[in-house]
Amino acid sequence: MVFKKRDMDMCSGPLFSKILIFALPIMAMNILQLMFNAADMVVVGRFAGSEALAAVGATGALINLIINLFMGLSVGTSVVVAQEYGAHRQGDVSKAVHTSIAISIIGGLIVMVIGLVFCEPLLVMMGTPRDILRLSILYMKIYFVGMPASMVYNFGAAILRAVGDSRRPMYYLTIAGVVNVLFNLFFVIVFGMSVDGVAWATVISQYLSMVLIIVCLYRTHGPIGFIPKELRIDKDKLKSIVKIGLPAGLQGMLFSISNVLIQSAVNSFGSTMVAASSAAGNIEGFIGTTMNAYYNAAITFTGQNMGAKKYDRIDTIAKICTVLIFATWIILGGLILLFGRSLLGIYTSDPEVIELGMLRTKIMMAAYFTCGIMNVFPGLTRAMGYSVLPMICTLIGACIMRILWLVTFFAWYPTVIMLFICYPITWGLAGIGQVVCFFYARRQIRKSVVPQLSQNI
């Protein structure tokens, strides 16, 4: 196969430098996305007050719960396109691309309707403080208007990353993010809007990013090029995408369910604690989204090498990603602890919010590398074709264990510390399970290769 300048040969040559080169644009994109999301919270926190800040923060876990099932299918897209691309099956790549875009459009519309209809009863069910409930409902209803665009962008970005192009999604997100920040300031400061202003700014930026990614695929020649008249769902590709993506989506949902339950517990401490947890969580997200870049790298590199049947390189990919996880935890985790109060001061000037935010941050950073292990290793396992195992690990290690923690230890000692310590404990348990799943899948792949080699001899 002839590799284009934007593509990357993942199946030969040194891996460390290529993984890092591939991951850096995704890392930058994730950090930019987080900064743009943070801009929503900073603008409302500074210009609309702590209640508006808490209202936006209180919606995060619920939004992720609703969208994660369909977003998980984009993982299936990434794996399927990467495997077909690594195997040089261009016709199958094209079918997977058009099937994925069709799925993203349908999924986006479904998620939008679900969000608009169920956001209010779900926020009430979560025990959202009454003083921020109305603002949280308003923010979510507007936010979900942008879901079709967000879904198309994420699937389009997954397609580009699957062939080694991680830069253009970053460029498009940067453009959309700058527009988001400008409209944030314009709507809130000039028009005097509150959470509705930052929500509409987000929606506008989401549709801009969708247009940019679709135009990019339309102008791209080769198997990943988007041809509107070819837009249809191929049954075989749909089956392959769902086989990988549905368990990934269910895993995301299960994880979100546990986060929704924890958010409900946070809500029980009042709007000040909600604001503190939201701001601290946003800061912690910088290390989390950085590690997410390694997850995307693990999926794409492993997927292409699986397609090319170069199984030995998968071990090296796993080792490199693990080293990068620990390096990120030490460097970024240390910086967050060192400058935590100053960073929280960007979101709010309320000293109580800052102190409570630091309490959460210290607990989270103590063992954040376990979160990276828990998130990255499922990418390796899924790209080898085993997607159900990581989901089961998340169900047991994160969802079930967090529920047990909330109904036992937290119920016995209902303190903020006892609530947040639940995170690193469950990360560690789920992380151990994900590593075991990886070695199981690796062993099964190697066992399947031996009979093939014997037949060839």
Residue 14 structure tokens: 């040194």
Question: What span, in angstroms and rounded, lies between the C-alpha atoms of 89 and 164?
Answer: 16
**Res 36 pLDDT > 50:** yes
* Predicted pLDDT of residue 47: 57
Express each pLDDT in 211-239 by its tens digit. Answer: 999 999 999 888 888 999 989 998 998 89
- Parent domain of 322: 17-447
**Res 454 pLDDT > 50:** no
* Predicted pLDDT of residue 6: 53
Question: What span, in angstroms and rounded, lies between the C-alpha atoms of 352 and 136?
Answer: 22
Per the structure, how many domains does the chain have? Answer: 1
* Predicted pLDDT of residue 50: 65
> Which residue in the block uniquely carries the two structure tokens 């609530």?
419
Question: What percentage of the chain carries pLDDT values higher than 70?
Answer: 91
In contact, 157 and 169? CB cutoff 8 Å: yes
* Predicted pLDDT of residue 48: 63
Looking at the domain assignment, is residue 4 inside a domain? no
Looking at the domain assignment, is residue 345 inside a domain? yes
* Predicted pLDDT of residue 395: 82
Average pLDDT rounded to a whole number, residues 11-16? 82
* Predicted pLDDT of residue 251: 75
Q: What is the residue type of 363?
A: I
Name the phi and psi angles at 204, rounded to 5: -60, -45
* Predicted pLDDT of residue 3: 42
**Res 351 pLDDT > 80:** yes
Looking at the domain assignment, is residue 363 inside a domain? yes
Interior CA angle at 150 toward 149 and 153, to 5°? 85
Assign 7 a pLDDT band (cuts: 50, 70, 90).
low
CA distances from 445 to 249, 300, 319, 391 (A): 24, 17, 18, 19
Looking at the domain assignment, is residue 65 inside a domain? yes
Looking at the domain assignment, is residue 294 inside a domain? yes
**C-alpha dihedral (375, 320, 30, 115), degrees to nearest 10:** -20
Average pLDDT rounded to a whole number, residues 74-103? 86
Question: What span, in angstroms and rounded, lies between the C-alpha atoms of 365 and 287?
Answer: 9
Name the phi and psi angles at 82, rounded to 5: -65, -45
Looking at the domain assignment, is residue 12 inside a domain? no
Name the phi and psi angles at 2, rounded to 5: -90, 125
Question: Within a 13 Å sphere around the CA of 201, how many CA atoms are in the beta-carbon half?
Answer: 28
59 vs 433, residue with greater confidence: 433
Assign 418 a pLDDT band (cuts: 50, 70, 90).
very high
* Predicted pLDDT of residue 455: 43
* Predicted pLDDT of residue 388: 83
pTM strictly above 0.75: no
Residue 208 structure tokens: 């801009």
Looking at the domain assignment, is residue 5 inside a domain? no
Assign 102 a pLDDT band (cuts: 50, 70, 90).
very high
Average pLDDT, the chain: 84
In contact, 377 and 318? CB cutoff 8 Å: yes
Burial 356-383 (b: 16+ CB within 10 A, else e): bbbbbbebbbebbbbbbbbbbbbbbbbb
**Res 10 pLDDT > 90:** no
Assign 145 a pLDDT band (cuts: 50, 70, 90).
very high
Burial 248-283 (b: 16+ CB within 10 A, else e): bbbbbbbbbbbbbbbbbbbbebebbbbbbbbbbbbb
> Three-state SS for 10?
coil
Assign 405 a pLDDT band (cuts: 50, 70, 90).
very high
**Res 435 pLDDT > 90:** yes
**Res 39 pLDDT > 60:** yes
Name the phi and psi angles at 90, rounded to 5: -65, -35
Average pLDDT rounded to a whole number, residues 115-125? 87
CA distances from 411 to 186, 265, 357, 404, 415 (A): 44, 10, 22, 10, 9
In Å, how far from its chain's centre is CA 141? Answer: 21
Looking at the domain assignment, is residue 456 inside a domain? no
CA distances from 296 to 76, 157, 450 (A): 12, 11, 29
* Predicted pLDDT of residue 360: 92
Interior CA angle at 95 toward 92 and 176, to 5°? 120
Assign 104 a pLDDT band (cuts: 50, 70, 90).
very high
> Which residue in the block uniquely carries the two structure tokens 């989401």?
206
Question: What span, in angstroms and rounded, lies between the C-alpha atoms of 45 and 354?
Answer: 13
